Copies of this chain bind each other. A is one copy, B any other.
Amino acid sequence: MLLCIFTANACMDLPFDPDQCQPGLSVDCVIFGFHENDLKVLLLKLLQGNEWALPGGFVFLDENLDRAAIRVLHERTGLEKIFLQQFHAFGQVERSPVTHAARLVQEHSLHPGLQSWFEQRFITIGYYALVEYSQVEKPQPDYFSETCAWFPVRGLPHLMLDHQAIIERALQTVRFQLKYQPIGLNLLPEKFTMPELQALYETLLDQKLDRRNFQRKMLSYDVLIRTGEFRQGGAHKAPVLYAFDPVNYEQALRNGFRSVW
């Protein structure tokens, strides 16, 4: 009975009109969050099967590419004005096997007319987002998924299609940018301690850093402001709370930390 209701519903209330979408094109978002000294990625569990997937969606014909990514991010996390950056277009032929499409149509009891839509070859544009974990109140699954949850990047579940590779590449991009551009404004709360910032770097780089040299370097970049407050309640000496200087941070984002020439 339940299945019947679902079936009827599914055939009628598709959350998008394929005729209004750019054919063969999708966007996928690798949404990174930082929690308990661990880098997490937001994933969706598909309704059927035991696979997880990146939050993604199609691009409306009258919608800019970036806008589509922003929409997906907003629909899943409720967040707006987030650091979101395109990092790669994935266009291997093998990445959209017909078998996958057929399963989708069957399992969702979609109108057979939609089969051709899902059987298309898809190119996907990868975006990565850096969000503040605690600000994502209740991640929302989409039409094709039942749950939405954070996973540590070092312990990902089985992923749909080439989504594992997409995450790898996003991580690689973040790691590279970390070396030359500031990071943290979108991953950390407004006020944070130097050890917390260092933990973020160590997690992303997967490498221990010297506490004292790290602080010296970060301060030399001139993007941090000492708030004058301290994080109380810890088991030890109360560390200084810092905040990012928005102007200098933006400037460092544009120009990079230090030109070699």
Q: Interface residues, chain A, CB within 8 Å of chain B?
A: 22-25, 59, 61-66, 86, 88-93, 121, 123, 125, 176, 179-180, 201, 205, 207, 209, 217, 256-257, 259-261
Q: Which residues of B contact A201 (CB under 8 A)?
A: 261
- Chain A binding surface SS class: mixed
Q: Across chains A and B, which 3 residue pairs bring their CB atoms closest together, nearest first?
A: A65-B91, A23-B23, A89-B89
Choose among A121, A256, A259 the residue with the greatest number of B CB atoms under 10 Å from its CB. Answer: A121
- A196 → chain B, closest Cβ, in Å? 17
Identical chains bound together, number: 2
Choose among A25, A176, A180 the residue with the greatest number of B CB atoms under 10 Å from its CB. Answer: A25
Once the chains bind, are B121 and A61 in contact (CB under 8 Å)?
Answer: yes
Once the chains bind, are A261 and B65 in contact (CB under 8 Å)?
Answer: no
Once the chains bind, are B121 and A92 in contact (CB under 8 Å)?
Answer: no
In the bound complex, CA of A90 to CA of B65 (Å): 8
Apart from A24-B25, A65-B91, 11 more pairs, CB < 8 Å:
A25-B25, A64-B93, A65-B89, A65-B92, A66-B91, A89-B125, A91-B125, A123-B125, A179-B256, A205-B261, A217-B260
Instruction: Pick the contact of A121: B22, B66, B90 (CB < 8 A).
Output: B22
Query: Could you list 12 examples of A-B contacts with CB < 8 Å?
Result: A22-B24, A22-B121, A23-B23, A24-B24, A59-B91, A65-B92, A65-B123, A179-B256, A179-B259, A180-B260, A201-B261, A217-B260
In the bound complex, CA of A205 to CA of B90 (Å): 30
Once the chains bind, are A179 and B125 in contact (CB under 8 Å)?
Answer: no
